[in-house]
Amino acid sequence: MLDLTISTPIPIVVTGSMKNSSEPDWDGPKNIIDSISICLNPNCKDIGVLVCLSGEINAASEVTKTHTEDLETFTSLDFGSLGFVDKGRVILNRLPRKLEAIDTDAINPNVDLIKCYAGMDEKFFVFSADSGVDGIVVEAMGVGNVPPKAFGGIQYAVDKGIPVVLVSRCPAGETLDVYGYPGAGKWLRNIGVIFAEYLNGQKARIKLMLALTVSNDTEKLREIFE
């Protein structure tokens, strides 16, 4: 959310702690010190919002939490971290893959996130579409495929003019239209479903909630996502 809505050269770093202050290995103070080091480093300007825990620097657009308790839970699974902090020294190995901002001061939270599973039918998509939702994010299987019976529900939503964005339920990798059975990526592409590249479901939903305040035109939204 911050990364897509704030356009500034000033470093913005999100941090926290995986342990609380009653535990002997409390990581909060080190994470704050590392984050301050990032904010003071001139190389960290103009590279978007960053996340720093356990000494790793990650782009907000790429990072995700991968473990409920592990100290090194925040990871960029597809592209790796941007760099790290070592005793106050900030080491950057690469830049974020993508820097973008959506010019809006509003948000449309009327977006559903629906996860696919084996044997799924159309009912959740039909219910969502009939409830007056403004957008749907579908967590498909694999590279971007849904069960054949679920495809009818997505078709129903698209026919009602509801933008549908496709992501994978896999923790890493992008969505592609490489399979051709009814419900596979090629069929979804043909009916107008938008592919979200490497975004996971929660990130794609945030992006769609912002993008819908700019336009609800599918082709305009496709430009924003693809």
What single-letter DSSP state applies at residue 193?
P
Q: Which domain covers residue 76, as residue numbers?
A: 2-92
Could you tell me the end-to-end alpha-carbon distance of the chain, in angstroms, rounded to an integer?
18
Residue ending a domain, among 92, 121, 156, is: 92
Is the same domain home to 70 and 8?
Answer: yes
Render each residue's pLDDT in the chain as its tens digit; 226 residues: 999 999 999 999 999 999 999 999 999 999 999 999 999 999 999 999 999 999 999 999 999 999 999 999 999 999 999 999 999 999 999 999 999 999 999 999 999 999 999 999 999 999 999 999 999 999 999 999 999 999 999 999 999 999 999 999 999 999 999 998 999 999 999 999 999 999 999 999 999 999 999 999 999 999 999 9
Residue ending a domain, among 26, 60, 92, is: 92
- State the pLDDT at residue 214: 97
Is the same domain home to 142 and 191?
Answer: yes
Is the same domain home to 118 and 220?
Answer: yes
Query: Structure pTM?
Result: 0.94
Residue 103 placed within a domain:
no
Task: Characterise 65 by phi-psi region: left (phi > 0), alpha (psi -120 to 50), beta (else).
Answer: beta
pLDDT in tens, 146-184: 999 999 999 999 999 999 999 999 999 999 999 989 999
Give the three-state DSSP class for 147.
coil
Residue 32 placed within a domain:
yes
